[in-house]
Amino acid sequence: MKTIYIMWLRELKRYWRSKSRMVGSLGQPILFLLALGYGLGSTFQKAGEGNYMNFLAPGIIGMSIIFTSIFSGIQVIWDRQFGFLKETMVAPVSRFNIMIGRTLGGATIAAIQGMVVFILALIFTSFRPYNWFLVLPAVLVMLLVGTMFTALGTAIASQLEDMQGFQLIINFLVMPLFFLSGALFPLSGLPSVLIIITKFDPLSYGIDAFRILLSHSGVYSLTLDISVLAIITLVFLSVGSYLFSRVQI
């Protein structure tokens, strides 16, 4: 447990020290929130779908979380290149605990980013939670989604030594996951092929859970969302732990 706590704390300290990373990671979510929210809001409302900001904000929160969490895996490559990973791996501690600590640190950072987007949406848009008492459960779902994608990012990074290669692979994964998750458009009424594809997108269950908790809307049930997220998180943690334990230093 001590190793997990140390690695978790280290990830948080590294995040707070990088002011440019904090600000830069918020640029794209804010742009999507304001540009799409105000640009398509009237069209969405005329179509009888209600307030687009209430629909869009949970999706942009999910966007912030997936980008922050999955790109945290690049720290593994960074540490490998600068020798810190070797010092960590040769220490008489479990590699599993090291991986879990890093993952929880990345998930915590992703949840913080999600909360920042949530607060900015409250300040600059018409978005308001359906029930303020459900904000805390939404934060817990943010941590779950963050853990899932941080584990995925760590698993991928543990097999690579090149930052450019990691960025190419992650961009290839993240953009389809984001755009097919229903973050920007409703999942109902889609062509049957797209409906099947969206059901295999783990982010769609996270965003659906955010919408149920924050906007009182959603396609699936909260029980299904949490169950799918928990199962996939366990799978990614297991795969990530195995691959991280085989890292060559």
Domain spans in the chain, listed from the N-terminal domain onward = 2-245
Neighbouring residues of 50: CB distance < 8 A, sequence distance ≥ 6: 44
Q: What is the pLDDT of residues 69-98, one digit of tens each?
A: 888 777 777 777 666 666 666 666 677 777
Q: What is the pLDDT of residue 83?
A: 63
Contacts of 161 (CB under 8 A, 6+ apart): 77, 80, 81
Of 113 and 81, the one with more pLDDT: 113
- Segment 5-24 mean pLDDT: 67
**102-119: average pLDDT:** 89
Taking the C-alpha atoms of residue 17 and residue 27, their distance in angstroms, rounded to an integer, is: 18
Dump pLDDT digits (tens) for 136-184.
999 999 999 999 999 998 888 888 777 777 778 888 888 889 888 888 8
pLDDT > 90: percent of the chain: 26
Provide the residue count of the chain: 249
For residues 12 and 219, what is the distance between their CA atoms, to the nearest angstrom?
34
Residues 6+ apart with CB under 8 A from 241: 95, 96, 99, 100
Q: End-to-end CA distance of the chain: give it in Å, rounded.
A: 24
**Token digits of residue 28:** 């794209």
20-50: pLDDT as tens digits? 566 666 777 888 787 777 776 666 655 555 6
Tell me the pTM: 0.89
Q: Is the per-residue pLDDT at 51 higher than 80?
A: no
